[in-house]
Structure 1
Amino acid sequence: MGEPPHTVKTLPTARRPGCPFDPPTELLEARRHGPISRYTFPGGKDGWLVTGYDLARAILADPRFSSRKELMVHPLVDYGGMKIPPAPPGEFLLMDDPRHSRYRKPLMGKFTVRRMRLLAERVEQVTDDHLDAMEKTGPPADLVTAFAKPVPAIMICELLGVPHEDRDSFQEQVDAFMNGDGDDLDLMAAYTATQEHLAELVAAKRARPTDDVLSDLTGGDLTDEELVGIALILLAAGLDTTTNMLALGTFALLRNPGQLAALRDDPELTDQAVEELLRYLSVGKTFMRTALEDVELGGRTIRAGSPLILSYNTANRDPERFADPHVLDLHRKGGGHLAFGHGIHQCLGQQLARVEMRVAFPALLNRFPTLRLAVPAEEIVLRPEIADIHGVKSLPVTWDA
C-alpha cells in the first residue's frame, strides 16, 4: 500500500496579489505533493485533481476518460444533483467518438497549417489597421478593446462569414456570454441571442454560400442545428482564448522587459516566444474528464464514474517537464506544452491562434517601442476567476507619442 493521496478540499482559483501569471498557490502546493490529488466536488462527489504534466497528457490521449458533457461534475458549483443534459448537436468538444469525429472531421481541412499561413497576410492587414487607429488616437489606450479583442474577432468573423454590417452587434453578444460577468440569466440571454444570430447566418449561407468555413460546411450532411453548434465551438476556440493571450501576453512581456527587448530585437525568436507565452500563461486553466472504467493511474485506482479536473496551468509549470517552470524564458526550446490540449480534442484553431500571435506581438512592440503600463501593475483587474479563460478585463497602456 502506498501513501494516502494528498487531498484538496476546495479548488483554488484566486491568484496571489502581484502574481497574475502564476497558478494559485494551493494548486502549486498540490503539485509538490504529487501529480494527482483527491478532490471532493461541491455536493460531495469524490474525484481527482491532476496537476502533473505526464498524467494530464496521458489522460487526454486515453479513450477511457470521457469528455461527454452529461458525465461531467462542475468543479466549483453544486447543482444539487440536477442531471446535466448531453452536449447540443455540433458542440463536439463535449462529446466522445463517434459523435465527436462526425463534427471534427469536416473541419480538419479548414484549419491546416498551410491554410492558416495563407491567412497571415490578412492578419497583418487587420493588425496594422488597429495599430494605425491606436497611433492616430494617441495614448493612453485599453489594449483589450483597441487591439487584443478586435484582431481575433475580425478573423473569426471572416472565417464564419459574418457580414461586415453585423459584426459589432454580433461581437457584443459573444462577449457578453464569454466574459464571465453578469448573473446566470444574463449569460443565458446572451448565449441564446448568439445562437439565434448564428441560426440566421447558417440559413443565409445555405441560400447564398460565400467564401468561408460555414458556407463550406453547408455542402455536407450537417443539419442547421449542428452547424450552429459547430460555429459556437469555433467562436469559443478562436476568439476568447486568443484575445486573452494577446492581452495577458503583452502584460507579461511588459513585466519582463528583458524578454520584451529580446523579442523586439530578434524576429527569428517570434515562434519560440509564442510557444513560451502559451506555456507560461496557460489561459485555458482547467478541463474536465470522467473515467468510463476503473483505471490505474499514477499509482492510484481511478474508479469508473470518477470526475477528474486537469489543471493545465500547473501541468505547464511542472518542474519534472520544464526547467525553471515559473520563469518566462523566450529562448526556451522544446515546446510540448498543453495550452492547446492533446489527443483527439486538441484545439482545431491552434494554427490560426499561432498566426495571429506571431503577427500581433512583434507588430505591437515595434510600432510602440516605448509601450508601458498606464497604471501600476497591481491595479490591473483580472477576469472573474469563474471564467473558463484566464485574462485581464482591461490593460491600460501608454507610450511616447
Structure 2
Amino acid sequence: MLRIKSKLTSWLTRLYLARASRRGFDLEKLPEAALVPLRRNGLDPVAELGEIRRREPVSKLPVPFGVTIWLVTGYAEARAVLSDAKAFSNDFGNLVGKAPGATAEQNPGGLGFADPPHHTRLRKMLQPEFTARRLKRLTPNIDAIIKRQLDEMDAAGKDGRPVDLVEHFALPIPSLVICDLLGVDYGRRDEFQRLAMQRFDLIGGTMGTLDAISESLEFLLGVVREQRKNPGDDLLGMIIREHGDDIDDRELAGLADGVLTGGFETTASMLALGTMGGVRDPQARENVSNGSADDTAGPPCVAG
C-alpha cells in the first residue's frame, strides 16, 4: 500500500509540475502557511515569520504532493546549513534523477550549484576580476546606461503620463551593466534582457522553470564560444586569457550565469525598493540628494 501511494504521489507531482510549466505556477494555490516567507508588510517580512523563528527556527513548509521543503530562519541554524557543504549540498547533480524535471543538461553550473573543492577552484578564477580596480573600468558605461534610462523615462513621462520605474529603470540597468561586464554583443542585448527577466518570473510558465535556465545557458555558451575566438577586455575575456586551459566552456558559461543570477534580480529589486524608501522617507531622500553621510541626520545612506 505504501509503495502504491509513493508511486501515485510521484506521478501526481510530475503531472502538476508539467501543467505548471505550461500554464504558469499560481502561488496562491499553495497553503497559506507555505507563503509566509514570501509575504511582506510593506517592505518588511510579516510578523508571523518572526514568530516562526522564535518558535521553531527549523520548520517544515506545508507543500503539496509530498515535496519536502525546510524553512531555516534561525541565525545559528542558517550558519550551520550554509557552512556544511557535505550535509547541505548545492551540487545540482544531486537533483538529477531525483527531482521531477531535473536533467544533467539543465545544470546551470557555476558557483551557485557547486560544492568544494569544485566551488573553490571556480571562485579563485572569478574573484580577482571583482577587485575595485578592475570594476572601476565599468563606471563610465554604468553612468551612460543610467543617463540613457533616465532620458527614456523622461520621454515616456511626457504629457504627465505615469512611468513604470521597474520597466524603464530598475530592470534595464542591471541587465545592461551585466551585458557590459560579460561582453555580450550589443545587437543581442535585447535577447539577453528578455532571458534575464523571464528566468526570474515565478508565474510565467515554462520560462519560469528549469527550461528558462537552459535557454539562458545556451545563450551564454554562445557568448563564451565567441569569446574563445577573440577574448575581449570584459570578465569572460580576462578569465579566458588567464585560465583558458583550466576551465571548459560549460563551466565558464556557469560562472557567467552566476553573475546574472547574483547581480540582476537583487540589484533590480534594490533600485525599485530604494526609490520607494526614499519616497516614503523625505529625510533619507534629502541625505542621498545632498550626498550626506551623516547618519545622525536620519537613516544611514550611501554618499554619492
* TM-score bucket (shorter structure): 0.7 to 0.9
Report the count of equivalent residues: 261
Distance 2:77 2:208 in 1: 37
Q: In structure 2, which of residues 221, 230, 245 is the aligned counterpart of residue 208 of structure 1?
A: 230
Aligned partner of 2:115 in structure 1 is 96
Give the deviation of 1:236 after TM superposition. Answer: 0.8
Give the deviation of 1:222 after TM superposition. Answer: 1.2
Distance 2:99 2:185 in 1: 42
Distance 1:116 1:208, change over 3 A: closer
| Pairing 1:21-40 to 2, within 5 Å after superposition | 21-33=43-55, 36-39=57-60
Q: In structure 2, which of residues 258, 263, 277 is the aligned counterpart of residue 238 of structure 1?
A: 263
Contact 1:39–1:49, Cα closer than 8 Å, also in 2 = yes
| TM-score for both structures, normalised by structure 1 | 0.56
Deviations 1:256-281 (CA, angstroms, capped at 9, x unpaired): 23322232234335xx8xxxxxxxxx
Give the deviation of 1:145 after TM superposition. Answer: 1.7
Give the deviation of 1:49 after TM superposition. Answer: 3.1
Distance 1:187 1:56, change over 3 A: closer
Deviations 1:46-71 (CA, angstroms, capped at 9, x unpaired): 77533233443454344554333355
Give SS of 2:45's match.
coil
Are 1:132 and 2:180 an aligned pair?
A: no
Q: In structure 2, which of residues 291, 299, 302 is the aligned counterpart of residue 330 of structure 1?
A: 299
Identity over aligned residues, as a percent? 34
Distance 1:331 1:200, change over 3 A: closer
Contact 1:199–1:228, Cα closer than 8 Å, also in 2 = yes
Give SS of 2:36's match.
coil
Distance 2:44 2:193 in 1: 29
Q: Which runs of 5+ in 1 are unaligned?
A: 1-7, 73-78, 273-328, 333-357, 363-401
Are 1:257 and 2:273 an aligned pair?
A: no
Contact 1:71–1:84, Cα closer than 8 Å, also in 2 = no
| Pairing 1:379-398 to 2, within 5 Å after superposition | none
Distance 1:180 1:48, change over 3 A: closer
Distance 1:81 1:63 in 2: 19
Distance 1:81 1:66, change over 3 A: closer
Give the deviation of 1:21 after TM superposition. Answer: 0.8
Aligned partner of 1:142 in structure 2 is 164
Aligned partner of 2:36 in structure 1 is 12
| TM-score for both structures, normalised by structure 2 | 0.72
Aligned partner of 1:69 in structure 2 is 92
Aligned partner of 1:368 in structure 2 is none
Contact 2:108–2:217, Cα closer than 8 Å, also in 1 = no
Distance 2:69 2:225 in 1: 43
Q: In structure 1, which of residues 218, 225, 233 is the aligned counterpart of residue 240 of structure 2?
A: 218
Greater relative CO (CA pairs within 8 A, separation 6+): 1
CA RMSD for the aligned pairs? Answer: 3.2
Identify the structure with the greater helix proportion.
2
Are 1:49 and 2:71 an aligned pair?
A: yes
Deviations 1:356-389 (CA, angstroms, capped at 9, x unpaired): xx69xx6xxxxxxxxxxxxxxxxxxxxxxxxxxx
Distance 1:59 1:187 in 2: 25
Distance 1:114 1:39, change over 3 A: same
Q: What amino acid maps onto 2:118 in structure 1?
A: R
Identify the structure with the greater strand proportion.
1
Q: What amino acid maps onto 2:299 in structure 1?
A: L
